[in-house]
Amino acid sequence: MMKLLGHKIELWAGLLLPEVSLSGMSELRFPEEKPLLRGQDTEMESADNFLSATDTDWKEHDIETPYGMLHVVIRGTPKGNRPVILTYHDVGLNHKLCFNTFFNYEDMQEITKHFVVCHVDAPGQQMGASQFPQGYQYPTMENLAGMLPSIMQHFGFQSVIGIGVGAGAYVLAKFALIFPELVEGLVLVNIDPNGKGWIDWAASKEELMNNTELVQNYRQQIGSCVNQSNLQLFWNMYNSRRDLEMNRPGTVPNAKTLRAPVMLVVGDNAPAEDSVVECNSKLDPTNTTFLKMADSGGLPQVTQVKACAGCVEISSV
């Protein structure tokens, strides 16, 4: 159990199978759940479901930051000192493509009744975004992390529980390293802490074989919903990122790592699996949980939405 500012992320023991120990930390593996394949009656029956939602409950804002404008979408009003759930999407996606299926799931909707949810779109990645002019300098990954306090200040948010996928997980980890006092907890999906080129999730042969329609639907949505020139700028900046400067306490003098409780999530067929394991080796085992999800590939929040939503419950203590 991870305490988060008077709230908790509670693992549902009935859904988890204990497996092996990784550097003194228990790994939890989900039992196999049927992946979203051709012909199944799921939230992913149609590509339209990527974008369908109770959008009337969400309010869009463009927030000025020291590194440019940032598009955010918010639902709910701050309630006392409760943290805000803040999400950040992966390269090639935006908040709708990355998180709609997950947040539209009924269990997550029940959870989010009690919390403000703030979806952040990386600059120029939101639907309908104008193309950046020639010569535009895209914000660095450090700059992207540095934009988030402006959002919190604008809306009066005191702290956040961050949920990030891929590049978004990197941005939130960087944010937590720079502004630890603003972060109450992190859920990092497919994070790669290393400064090396990003591996396209669609390049996984197993995922292509098992989820052909899923991949094709996402390719179509990316082509029609994300400005390709802006996407290339984000992609290039992520490819030029630096290593996250963190080390497990006790391994090096003056080790710096994430102070907030962290839940690492990866699919067992995901290209990022080894990178997530390496990230775990850099974190404090006393407040880190590692979740490996069977047959979920590089998009566990989409292909295993029931398990992702059912494995955690954010509730008042």
* Largest Cα span, the chain: 55
* pLDDT tier at 58, thresholds 50, 70, 90: confident
In a domain, 62, yes or no: no
Give tens-digit pLDDT for 178-236.
Answer: 999 999 999 999 999 998 654 444 444 344 445 545 445 555 555 567 898 999 999 99
Residues 83, 90: Cα–Cα separation, whole Å: 22
Q: So what's the pLDDT on residue 193?
A: 94
In a domain, 129, yes or no: yes
> Is pLDDT of 292 > 90?
no
* pLDDT tier at 57, thresholds 50, 70, 90: confident
In a domain, 45, yes or no: no
In a domain, 137, yes or no: yes
In a domain, 162, yes or no: yes
**Could you tell me the CATH number of the domain that includes residue 85?**
3.40.50.1820
Q: What is the extent of the structural domain holding 15?
A: 2-31+72-316
Residues 30, 282: contact at Cβ < 8 Å?
no
What backbone phi and psi angles, to 5 degrees, belong to 93? -125, 180
In a domain, 204, yes or no: yes
How far, in Å, are 50, 53, 55, 110, 297 from residue 100 at the CA level? Answer: 6, 7, 10, 15, 18
Give tens-digit pLDDT for 227-250.
Answer: 989 999 999 999 899 999 999 988
> Is pLDDT of 37 > 50?
no
In a domain, 37, yes or no: no
How many domains are contained in the chain?
Answer: 1
Residues 217, 12: Cα–Cα separation, whole Å: 31
What backbone phi and psi angles, to 5 degrees, belong to 2? -115, 120
Written as one letter, the residue type at 138 is: Y
Average of per-residue pLDDT values in the chain: 75
In a domain, 66, yes or no: no
